[in-house]
Amino acid sequence: MFRTALRTLPALGLLLPLLTPAMAADAPKKRSITLDDLPRLVRVGAPVVSPDGQWVAYTASQIDTKEDKTLTHLWMVKWDGSAQIQLTYGKEGASQPRFSPDGRYISFLSSRPGPAKGEQVWLLDRRGGEAQQLTSITDQSIENYLWSPDSKKLLLTLHPKAEPDAEEGKPPAPPKPIVIDRYHFKQDIKGYIRDDDWDALYLYDIATKKAEKLTTSKNVDEKNALWSPDGQWIAFVSNHDADPDRSDNTDVFVVAPKAGSAPRQLTTWTGPDGGRLAWSPDSKSIAYTQGAPLPLLEYSQDKPAVVTLDGKVSYPASALDRSVREPIYSTDGHLSYLVADDRNQYPAEVELSGSSDKRLLAQQGAVMAWDTAAGHIAVLYTNDEAPGEIYAFERGALRKLSTQNDALLAELNLVPTEGVEFKSKDGTEVHGLLTRPASFKAASPVPMVLFIHGGPNGQDEHSFDFLRQWLATKGYAELNVNYRGSSGRGQAYAKAIAGDWGHYEVEDLLAGVDKAVALGVADPNRLAVTGWSYGGILTDYTTASTDRFKAAISGAGVANSLAFYGVDQYILQYDNELGQPWKNSQLYLKISYPFFQIDKRIHTPMLFMGGTSDMNVPLIGGEQMYQALKSLNRPTELVVYPGQFHGFTRPSYIRDRYERWLAWWDKYLQPAPATAAK
pLDDT digits (tens, 9 = 90+) for 251-302: 999 999 999 999 999 999 999 999 999 999 999 999 999 999 999 999 999 9
Is residue 230 included in any domain, yes or no? no
In the chain, the percentage of residues whose pLDDT exceeds 90 is 90
Segment 114-138 mean pLDDT: 93
Predicted local confidence at residue 171, as pLDDT? 83
pLDDT digits (tens, 9 = 90+) for 99-111: 999 999 999 999 9
Is residue 158 included in any domain, yes or no? no
Task: Please count the other Cβ atoms lying within 10 Å of the Cβ belonging to residue 574.
Answer: 18
Segment 153-181 mean pLDDT: 85
How many Å apart are CA 552 and CA 608, to the nearest integer?
9
Q: How confident is the model at residue 325 (pLDDT cuts 50, 70, 90)?
A: very high
CATH number, domain at 491? 3.40.50.1820
Segment 394-412 mean pLDDT: 97
Which amino acid does the sequence have at 148?
S
Mean pLDDT of the chain: 93
Q: How confident is the model at residue 677 (pLDDT cuts 50, 70, 90)?
A: very low
Quote the longest CA-to-CA distance of the chain: 79
CB–CB of 557/614 below 8 Å? no
Segment 6-32 mean pLDDT: 44
Is residue 90 included in any domain, yes or no? no
Q: Is the model more confident about 185 or about 27? A: 185
Task: Count structural domains, the chain.
Answer: 1
- Nearest in space to 71 (alpha carbons), one of 34, 105, 42: 42
Is residue 672 included in any domain, yes or no? yes
Is residue 235 included in any domain, yes or no? no
CB–CB of 401/389 below 8 Å? yes
Q: Does the pLDDT value for residue 525 go beyond 50?
A: yes
Predicted local confidence at residue 12, as pLDDT? 26
Segment 473-478 mean pLDDT: 97
Segment 46-57 mean pLDDT: 98
Is residue 667 included in any domain, yes or no? yes
Is residue 411 included in any domain, yes or no? no
Predicted local confidence at residue 678, as pLDDT? 37
pTM of structure: 0.93
Is residue 119 included in any domain, yes or no? no
**509: containing domain:** 417-677
Which amino acid does the sequence have at 424?
S
Instruction: Specify the range with the lowest mean pLDDT, choosing from 126-130, 401-405, 447-451.
Output: 126-130
pLDDT digits (tens, 9 = 90+) for 603-618: 999 999 999 999 999 9
